[in-house]
Amino acid sequence: MLALKAENISKQYRLGQVGTGTLSHDLNRLWAQLRGKEDPYLKIGESNDRTTKGNSDYVWSLRDINFEIEQGDAVGIIGRNGAGKSTLLKLLSKVTKPTTGRIHTNGRIASLLEVGTGFHPEMTGRENVFLNGAILGMTRKEITRKFDEIVDFSGVERYIDTPVKRYSSGMYVRLAFAVAAHLESEILIVDEVLAVGDAEFQKKCLGKMGDVSKGEGRTVLFVSHNMAAVTNLCKSGMLLDKGLLLKSGNIELVSAAYKQLRTDGYQKYLAQKEKDIYVTEAEILGNHAEFYSNEAISFRFKIENRLKKMDNTYILVRIMDHDEQPLFSSERTIKDIDIFTFEVPANTLVKGNYFLSIYLYNPGSSPYDVVERCCEFSVINNNEDFAHLENFNIGKVYMPTAWK
């Protein structure tokens, strides 16, 4: 039995506008509709490519998306930032309407699109559990039956009668996830919310979503950049890029396509933005992105500084694997320098695929600039020490130490 079906759904936005845009555009749309004509603004617009400036005020966040999801499936929705993942979930959750196309749902939907979705800050945790349940169409009797289980899972029993505006972000997400996962909806939609909780709670959430899908036969849609979590939970997936559905089906094949997509064009990063202090270039030195394990790997970064002074400002480089797991970081102060080189020593990374994330920041304040998932590269093993250790799952980083 189908839980969800999308037929040619698209979503168009006008940049800088709330709603459909100006009054004249709304009147033009209405006039076309009254004459039985097509919306004139559907003929214009560009793909949602954030790396280019573009010439149109209209962008397609999603374009001609078609898929079917069976009841009880756990589906991972993956793609780079700006691919249209969150927009798709908002359409499926009925937070917003598609510009074109139709969505068919079979059953009640519980969605967790951001921390504390549907929570009223002035109400207590207890009151918000009942409020959320009512929004999902549950009776008070149904919510009462699940209440103790929800509170126990969330771990906020001591604060359940405290207004949620006093909760930390971690407490917020614990209770919000517990409500969405335990109330008896047929479809559970989760978007990146696990990034807020600690590692123990993330593991607990993934276990619960697995139980919901496999044990209870409910449908789960899960958006995350954590590919390890997606592949462990989901059997099928959908890959979005620039508003288009590039691939769907077996999660391993979709994941491989995503990794290839991220590798293409990521050997060198060029900024498309202007800030007070920002990374203008990041590249792998050596004109290739494939290295042997006994080679050192060097990178070059260029910084643009419009503030002139850089007191207590740092550049931090984080090495991550293709499952989005951080491996190690290194940082240094910036001061008056605008070009930096960074080297990963030989015999450090084992066989695999990797990329960098770069942060420019001043401790105690928001980062000046963040460049995520750039300069992708791979390592091929030619080190005999690594070869015989691979059977022992030594991880991604090999750390020689002095034994006594």
Q: What pLDDT does residue 50 have? A: 44
Whether 15 and 160 map to the same domain: the answer is yes
- The pTM (predicted TM-score) of the whole model is 0.60
Whether 285 and 251 map to the same domain: the answer is no
81-95, 240-254, 300-314, 343-357: least confident range: 300-314
Question: What is the distance between the alpha carbons of residues 383 and 338, in angstroms, rounded to a whole number?
Answer: 35
Residue 404 domain flag: no
Whether 202 and 337 map to the same domain: the answer is no
Residue 400 domain flag: no
Of 219, 246, 262, the position where a domain reaches its end is 262
Residue 229 domain flag: yes
> Does 398 score more than 90 pLDDT?
no
Residue 369 domain flag: yes
Q: What pLDDT does residue 40 have? A: 58
DSSP codes, 27-71: HHHHHHHHTTPPPGGGG--EE--TTS--S-SEEEEEEEEEEEEET
Whether 91 and 191 map to the same domain: the answer is yes
84-98, 117-131, 271-285: least confident range: 271-285
Q: Return the higher-pLDDT residue of 18 and 327.
A: 327
Residue 398 domain flag: no
Whether 15 and 126 map to the same domain: the answer is yes
Whether 294 and 203 map to the same domain: the answer is no
Per the structure, the complete domain to which residue 212 belongs is given by 2-262
Q: Which two tokens stand for residue 15?
A: 């940049």
Q: Which tens digits make up the pLDDT trace of 101-145?
A: 999 999 888 887 765 567 888 999 999 999 988 887 788 998 999
- Count how many domains the chain has: 2
Q: What pLDDT does residue 15 have? A: 59
CATH code of the domain covering residue 220:
3.40.50.300
Residue pair 310/340 in contact (Cβ under 8 Å)? The answer is no
Q: Which tens digits make up the pLDDT trace of 169-221?
A: 778 888 888 888 887 788 988 886 665 556 677 778 888 888 888 878 889 99
CATH code of the domain covering residue 303:
2.60.40.2550
Q: Which tens digits make up the pLDDT trace of 27-66?
A: 766 766 677 766 655 554 445 554 444 445 677 889 999 9
Q: What pLDDT does residue 389 have? A: 58
Instruction: Report how far apart the first and last C-alpha atoms of the chain are (Å, whole number).
Output: 63
Whether 243 and 340 map to the same domain: the answer is no
Residue pair 224/192 in contact (Cβ under 8 Å)? The answer is yes
Of 232, 262, 292, the position where a domain reaches its end is 262
Q: What pLDDT does residue 114 have? A: 65
Residue 402 domain flag: no
Find all residues with CB under 8 Å of 203, minimum gap 6, and list them.
none
Backbone angles phi, psi at 365, to 5 degrees: -140, 170
Whether 237 and 337 map to the same domain: the answer is no
Strand partners, 65: 9
Whether 247 and 283 map to the same domain: the answer is no
Of 262, 294, 310, the position where a domain reaches its end is 262
Q: Which tens digits make up the pLDDT trace of 290-341?
A: 788 888 999 999 988 887 666 788 899 999 887 778 898 999 988 777 899 9
Residue 79 domain flag: yes
Whether 86 and 127 map to the same domain: the answer is yes
Q: Report the share of the chain in percent with pLDDT over 70.
A: 79
Whether 240 and 165 map to the same domain: the answer is yes
> Does 370 score more than 60 pLDDT?
yes
Q: What pLDDT does residue 265 have? A: 47
Residue 399 domain flag: no
Whether 258 and 180 map to the same domain: the answer is yes
Q: What pLDDT does residue 69 have? A: 93
Taking alpha carbons only, the member of 1, 10, 3 closest to residue 240 is 10
